[in-house]
Structure 1
Amino acid sequence: MHSLRDYVVKRDCSLSGILFFSAVIFTRAPFSEESPEWHPWQHINSLIFKRRPISASIKDILKKAHEHVRSKAGRYSWYRDQDSRPSEGQIRRVSNLLRDNFEYSTSPRTNVEEIERCIKHVTQEQFEALDLLQDNRRLVFKGPAGTGKTFLAMESAFRATHEGKSVLFLCFNNLLGDWLKAEVSSVSGDKSRFRCGTFHSLLMEISGERRPRDEPEYWQKYLLLQAAEKLLQDDRTYPHFDVLIVDEAQDLMRDEYLDVLDLVLKDGLAGGQWALFWDFERQAIYSPEDIAATTRGLQYIGSSRNSVGKSA
């Protein structure tokens, strides 16, 4: 802060009476540490950053800064309550001094080279991720939206199918499920060993339901119970898949959902082959109860027990 103030004042001495103060914004950390090195109001943690307009938070910091300096009148003899607040013109001058206006354009060739570099880097990472699936029977792939998880999931499913394995490829969202089915239908090869769709369409197929009811209770409880009962009564009523692949897996991390998946995967979740493609960033939009359920889901798939089988 002091170096910035010196820089500004050396270039425009009329700004010497303005109050300069510092603060830190933690955009991703719920920072709450206390120290004699800073005041409690000198930071904006991630919770405040997400819940309040940044302008309101900065105004609060400036207000606290003026109150602090005003309370130390003997130490800051140069401070004047009104004169130490910048005018609109002074704000513009400070802004221009710290960030000059300039234009910088890259050549078309540079743009093309950068795109090619990014594609090569991403493609290499994707191949490495696919190779991981070849060498490991159980994997969780994590990444935010737009990082190519869905395409990785599809390619890993196609590879497993070409190896002669039966594949169950699931998601939660209906729109994503329709898109995945359309993509699968356009790919050549044996599709009889490749079952693709939403988790709830799987439940309907197992339970034999033909006319779904537009009721939350139907989708959240009834359909689950019907499918689980069918599988527990006779596990030959539905094929056991060699490989389970789930896209946007964070939406399916519920004990009761995992119980069903455990029953349709050869050797279950504890011993079978599966890959979960996961967006951990999206957990921020869930309630604490949802996040707790997700944590239990991770613990479940890492355990060696079959809770449905034992409870039955």
Structure 2
Amino acid sequence: MKLIPDYINDSVNGSERRLFKVFQNCKGLDNWFCLHSLGVSRHVSKREGEIDFLLIGPDGLFVLEVKGGKVERKNGAWLVQDGSRQYRKQESPFDQAKSALYSLTNDLVKNLGWRADKHAFGYGVVFTGAEFKVGSPEWDPAIVCDKSDLKQPISSYVKRLSGYWRSRGKGQRKLSQRQIKELVGYLRGDFEAVMTLSDQLSESEQEIARLTTEQVRVLDAAGQNSRILLFGAAGTGKTMLAVEMLKRHLAQGRSVLLLCYNKLLAAYLRGLLRHNVGAGDYIVETLHHFMRDHIDMSDEQIDTVADKRELFTEKFPNKFLAAAKTRPPTKFDYLIIDEAQDILTPKYLEVLDQVVVGGLDNGQWMICLDNRNQNIYSNGAEASAVLEPLKSKATVLNLSINCRNTPNIARATELVTGIDIDGVKKQGGASVKYLWYKDREDQLRKVSGFIKDLLKAGFSAEEITVLSPRTAAASLTGTSLQPLFDMHQISPSNMSVAASGIKSIGYATIHAYKGLENKIVILTDIENIGAGKSLLNYVGFTRARALLAVAVRSDQRPSFRKRLRLFLSRLKDKAGSVVAKGR
């Protein structure tokens, strides 16, 4: 039996975890799939409602409602005791399972054109912590599995359940492998839904991201292959999947090391995981901070006043490797590198080889990167050369669907940067606002006016981030904008969950904010659109989820118009290519 997802969170109640382990160890159900809840149903209105487990196999489709501990019915109400949790329901567990099945069946009929009467669709109730021998005309004992039944192979119950529902229909056919795959493919996204990174810190505003088909494929491959090299442009979900893989390996009792380049991204991910996972055998850190910590524990000394580039690219890795000879670093069961294009050098790979069990050749790891469009720190040619040996060791996967930006933001990014964004998941969205300015005073007037309009329209300050290619001290915000509004410079210390209640506008450099996002992003100090691909502008534009405003110097209008002509020409070429393929 294949379980989807192939792990279960500690946050899921004990009865469901017990049944998950039973299915995980079962035999005799090789052609069956088991989709189960991840404990996120309270945050999302799923198509099939509250389904704990869904079995799909040759004999049909069956919804399972799971109850644990003591279960009894008094005065028409059901009392359930599951560990320390006790609750009362007017609706019986059988009615819960039945209504969920009917909802699911209606959906399949409507959206897939299924004939429910042609196949066995049914439901059952599993009592993991008690014996349930209560008889009633409302249910048949054949659909009940209790504590005593779980002492036998679970396949016996599945065969009994499917036999009961098949006996109630006439001329019902078995599901073919093609039909099983169609059902699983259609439904699995609701069960493998994960919280978007931007909403995991605020439980009152949590949203669930229904995974795209290619994101599901990545998780499948990552579960079946030891080493994954994942390519994806901005907004395709690389970081979200990296966090999901960390959670899955932790749930299986493995130690995990997640490294990246940017301090803000590392701080953000640490806070997010503290809030959603708690303590565990994992470390989230920048590569350089991780190296520095190990160097400090050794006898090695490092000159921190050296040239910054030399310090990061030579001194840190050399001192770490020297320290490793006398004090071997802790090796982790699973290694995750996010935004890896920033740290792909031969020297850094020597460091990474030291920190994962089995090394890079034989260890388990996932490396996520966008080497084409976001390589704003390291040498692109060097990174490409380093990638070749990694490709020979790993399963190479690609993400192409942008799940972050609206179509308008994606098109504006293509126009200004010359970098194509092939697929966009979102629909609709506000137009991108261009704030053309003559000088600093004009830019201040237009940007401050735009922010005032946003706040007046009801947007909250924390939904707004102001970015600049300049340092804070030289940017519009640092010199002029900050005194006009309640603003804070985004730093590792205020990226933590404890400080996530800050109700002011954040600002940062584009470089520092790479890997992060917000609902509204305002780019300031854009003085050069120019020709060719602009990687820094690409990073800045793609930070916005819903609304983007760009303050551009007026003398760039000719360049903008030239960019527009090129953009329209590319669109025409794309349209022609699509027509040609369709012939």
Q: What TM bracket, shorter-length normalisation?
A: 0.5 to 0.7
Question: Aligned residue for 1:223?
Answer: 316
Give the Å deviation of 1:253.
0.7
Deviations 1:146-198 (A, max 9, x none): 1111111001111111111110101011111111111111123542x101110
- The answer to whether the 8 Å contact 1:270/1:302 transfers is no
Work out which of the residue numbers 281, 288, 292 in structure 2 matches 1:200: 288
Instruction: Kindly state the Cα deviation for residue 286 of structure 1 after the two structures are TM-superposed.
Output: 7.2
* Paired position in structure 1 for 2:340: 249
Which TM-score applies when normalising by structure 1? 0.53
Aligned equivalents of 1:128, 1:282: Cα separation in 2: 23
Selected match of 2:269 from 180, 188, 193? 180
Is residue 255–residue 282 contact of structure 2 (8 Å, CA) maintained in 1? yes
CA distance in 1, matches of 2:209, 2:326: 51
Q: Deviation string for 1:49-90 (max 9, x for gaps)? A: xxxxxxxxxxxxxxxxxxxxxxxxxxxxxxxxxxxxxxxxxx
Correspondence for 1:276: 367
Counterpart of 1:147 in 2: which secondary structure? coil
CA distance in 1, matches of 2:363, 2:344: 17
Are 2:353 and 1:265 equivalent residues in the alignment? no
C-alpha distance 232-188 of structure 1, shift in aligned 2 (>3 A): same
Rounded Cα–Cα distance in structure 2 between residues aligned with 1:182 and 1:212 = 30
Task: Let me know the Cα RMSD of the aligned residues.
Answer: 3.0
| Cα offset, 1:222, TM superposition | 1.9
Ranges in structure 2 where 5+ consecutive residues have no aligned partner: 1-188, 191-207, 394-583
1: distance between equivalents of 2:315 and 2:209? 48
Alignment of 1:1-312 (within 5 A): 122-191=211-280, 193-208=281-296, 213=304, 215=306, 216=308, 217-235=310-328, 238-282=329-373, 290-302=379-391
Q: Deviations over 1:210-246 (max 9, x none)?
A: 99835413333222221111112342xx210111101
Code of the aligned partner of 1:229:
A
Structure 1: how far apart are the matches of 2:304 and 2:376? 28
Where does the alignment leave 5 or more consecutive residues of structure 1 unmatched? 1-115, 305-312
Q: Which has the higher helix share?
A: 1
Aligned equivalents of 1:254 and 1:284: distance in 2? 12
Distance in 2 (alpha carbons) for counterparts of 1:296 and 1:273: 22
Distance 1:272 1:131 in 2: 18
Identify if the C-alpha distance between structure 1 residues 286 and 167 changes in structure 2 by more than 3 Å, giving closer, same or farther: closer
Structure showing the higher strand proportion among its residues: 2
Q: Which residue type is aligned with residue 294 of structure 2?
A: I
Residues 217-226 or 258-267, more deviating? 217-226
Please report the TM-score for the alignment, with normalisation by the length of structure 2: 0.29
- Report the 3-state secondary structure (helix = DSSP H, G, I; strand = E; otherwise coil) of the residue aligned with 2:289: helix
User: Would the aligned equivalents of 2:353 and 2:359 in 1 still touch at CA under 8 Å?
Assistant: yes
Larger gyration radius, structure 1 or structure 2: 1
Higher relative contact order (CA 8 A, sep 6+): 1
- Distance across 2 between alignment mates of 1:303 and 1:234: 30
Partner-residue secondary structure (3-state), 2:367:
strand
Query: In structure 1, what is the Cα distance between the partners aligned to 2:284 and 2:223?
Result: 20
Kindly tell me: are residues 218 and 150 of structure 1, through their superposed partners in 2, closer, same or farther at Cα, counting changes over 3 Å?
same
* CA displacement at 1:262 relative to structure 2: 0.3
Aligned length: 184
SS at match of 1:129: helix
Q: Secondary structure at the match of 2:219?
A: helix
Q: Percent identity?
A: 33
- The answer on whether the counterparts of 1:169 and 1:196 sit within 8 Å (CA) in structure 2 is yes
8 Å Cα contact 1:167/1:243 also seen in 2: yes
| Structure 1 position 145, deviation (Å) | 0.6
Instruction: Provide the C-alpha distance between the structure 2 equivalents of 1:276 and 1:284, rounded to a whole number of angstroms.
Output: 15
Q: Quote the offset at 1:120 in angstroms.
A: 7.5
Amino acid of the structure 1 residue aligned with 2:231: K
Name the SS for the 2:325 alignment partner. Answer: helix
Q: Is the 8 A contact 1:168 1:196 kept in 2?
A: yes
